[in-house]
Amino acid sequence: MIFKDPVTAEDPRWTPDGNAILFTSDQRYPGVMRDLWMLRVANGKAQGRPELIKGDLGKALKGKLTAAGAYYYKQTSSVTQTLAVGFDPATGKVVGESEPVSLQTGGMSKQPSMSLDGNWLSFFRRSADDKSIIVIQSLQTGAETAFPTELPFAQNSAMFPDGKSLAISDWGQNPKYGFLKFDTNTGAITPLKDVKGISGEMNVSPDGRTLYYCQWQGGDRLWHVMAWEIGAGNERELAKGQGGRRDYISLSLSLDGSQLAFARTEGNDDVIEVMPSAGGAGREVYRVRGPAMIGALAFEPDGQHLIFISEAERGSRMKLLRIAVAGGQPGETGIEAKFLDKIMVHPNGKRIFYAAGTGTSEIWALENLLPKAK
């Protein structure tokens, strides 16, 4: 062993002179972006700490280092945007073409959330340093207010019914709280609830008093669907199950707050269930056998139908399907993309908001990148 470090190092390559090792790591932006590092070696021992040679390689895959010292690598990247499209509840099909919710978005935007009256939309825009810019948009006028933050990009969020604040999950390398509260008028961020192990979608009840979320509890290695009375401290477990291949349970609360839908894994199956939000027995709506998977889901305003993400197998194109809460077979809405994420249906039932992405692959070359020996 030449060097031991908690940093995740991948694709190590000796330099042509045999005096150093190049490797990639996502330590600065875990799961988001990789950098190229170099560790000097002499007599089989590391000389100091790794040095950053080239940052921001994207999600770089295995590279090749030539005898001349040029480093070739394949870079994959994706652009995810929050989109909106017309929808006909009578046919279950989309109407027209999907369009970005904001012409100012540029780059990445994710995690749409909406006020109960459908007048306000929030989403997360990606800053140049991979932080979250929270955007509040009027769906009546299109006017936007952008709030730069120090939060990692694209936190899970849910807008409170009056549109005056957001509940935001505080995840990252060193999370201090489970949930934060964001003021949509001032941009102020305050602690809301101290809890660990949260993931996936969250929902706020129509009266703004209850937060529904999913929590990993390592003792039984299951995801638990929780309901927390905001500010009162009372909390109850509504359901639990495997997060499975998606590693979380997807949640959606009906517009009137009476029903809670969730997608979970059971053995090799992905299952959609619906239950009373106050607690009680759940009822299976739809089941699919792996490798097919079910992702995020959302109630339509009538509470009688669900829109959900379907993937035939990991890595295949995703589709938005629609199914009756009473059961039966799902139908296609007409939305398909390489990547689909959180779904919102406007309270009038005539628009769907969702995040969708595309991916690209390119071959890059870095020449004369190795520093001179010290």
**Phi and psi at residue 245, to the nearest 5°:** -70, -25
Mean pLDDT across the chain, nearest whole number?
85
Question: How many Å is the Cα radius of gyration of the chain?
Answer: 23
The answer to whether position 330 is within a domain reads yes
Question: Which residue from 247, 309, 297, 300 is spatially nearest to 273, judged by alpha carbons?
Answer: 297
Is 83 within 8 Å of 111 (Cβ atoms)?
no
| Shared domain check, 82 and 20 | no
Q: Is the pLDDT of residue 265 over 90?
A: no
| Shared domain check, 170 and 45 | no
| Shared domain check, 21 and 81 | no
The answer to whether position 84 is within a domain reads yes
Instruction: Give residue 31's domain range.
Output: 10-69
The tally of domains found in the chain comes to 2
| Shared domain check, 98 and 36 | no
Question: Which residue from 291, 296, 290, 293 is spatially nearest to 340, judged by alpha carbons?
Answer: 296
| Shared domain check, 126 and 34 | no
| Shared domain check, 163 and 34 | no
Distance in angstroms (rounded) separating the CA atoms of residues 68 and 229: 63
pLDDT in tens, 210-242: 999 988 776 677 788 999 999 887 999 999 877
- Please give the C-alpha separations between residue 14 and each of 63, 92, 276, 343, in angstroms, as whole numbers: 12, 57, 59, 46
| Shared domain check, 172 and 56 | no
Give the pLDDT of residue 59: 60
Unique residue bearing structure tokens 């379907």 = 310
Q: In CATH, what number is assigned to the domain containing residue 199?
A: 2.120.10.30
Alpha-carbon dihedral sign for residues 126, 129, 131, 136: negative
The answer to whether position 368 is within a domain reads no
Q: pTM for this one?
A: 0.75
The answer to whether position 308 is within a domain reads yes
Distance in angstroms (rounded) separating the CA atoms of residues 284 and 275: 9
| Shared domain check, 282 and 322 | yes
189-210 b/e (C-beta count within 10 Å ≥ 16 → b): beebbebeebbbbbbbbeeeeb
pLDDT in tens, 287-325: 999 899 999 999 999 999 999 999 998 778 999 999 999
